Chain A
């Protein structure tokens, strides 16, 4: 498609895209564990979204549509790098001495490091539902699995993350301690 054939994007689409950029970047950083890779992903997602804007139906969930593009771009790159391994329990990830991007790793919080130790299919469900606010049904559609599988992955992701962050003892999580646990995970990098 040439520039002359490029359809005019609606104002709503452009504004929606701009509005979603920051959250989409947070999703990309959390998914990839690297600011540099996240920005590459975001750039490619932006270009794809722009060129495929005609396939977005106004009134449907733009965030879910963008997450679909970004996530598929990420896994496509992941496969190309030949790093995809079957690691449902995060065993391989937990043995990684350092993430691929050393520079970004220096700035990682304990929380980001824990996220990277989750199995990929658990991490992105956690990010889609727990952080981006997508519904179970939207996440199931994006992943191509049943809603029950999404719930199961989400549960496992939460359990593993809690274990990694040391916040898995309900007896220690009384009133007020949830916020303390959050502060602890955010400041102990």
Chain B
């Protein structure tokens, strides 16, 4: 069993998986300009980082601590 199979063990059915491949953007002639790709990518990274920089809420830290405390010594 490889890593991907292992990943699948906790996978629920995919709500977004389509039965067929979608046409590639270049086939549709709607490729996005590199400058727009860069701008969108930079905005996305800034948005993502602004959230990642926030402190984790206490309830998650408490949960982590509880899970770790439950570990019995080997």
Interface residues of A (CB under 8 A from B): 3-4, 6, 8-9, 14, 17-18, 21-23, 25-27, 29-30, 39, 42-43, 46-48, 50, 52, 55-57, 60-61, 64-65, 68-69, 72-73, 75-76, 78-79, 84, 109, 111-112, 115, 120-121, 124, 126-127, 130-132, 141-146, 148-149, 151-153, 155-156, 158-159, 161-162, 165, 167-168, 170, 173, 177-179, 181-182, 185-186
Contacts and interface: CB of A to CB of B under 8 A. Distances in A.
Contacts, number: 190
Main secondary structure of the interface of A (DSSP, over half): helix
Contacts of A143: 14, 16-17
B21 A146 contact: yes
Contacts of B49: 26
A8 to B, nearest CB: 5
User: Lowest 5 CB-CB distances: which A-B pairs, in order?
Assistant: A155-B25, A121-B16, A60-B3, A75-B15, A72-B12
A61 B54 CA distance: 24
Given A173-B35, A178-B35, A145 B21 contact: yes
A23 B52 contact: yes
Interface residues of B, number: 55
B44 A170 contact: no
Contacts of B9: 52, 55
B15 A21 contact: no
Contact of B60 (A46, A64, A73, A170): A46
Contact of A57 (B3, B63, B71): B3
Interface in B3-45: 3-4, 6-7, 9-12, 14-18, 21-25, 28, 30-33, 35-45
24 contacts: A21-B56, A21-B60, A23-B52, A46-B60, A52-B9, A52-B10, A57-B6, A72-B14, A75-B12, A84-B15, A115-B47, A120-B16, A130-B45, A149-B18, A156-B25, A156-B30, A159-B32, A161-B43, A161-B44, A162-B32, A162-B39, A162-B40, A168-B36, A181-B42
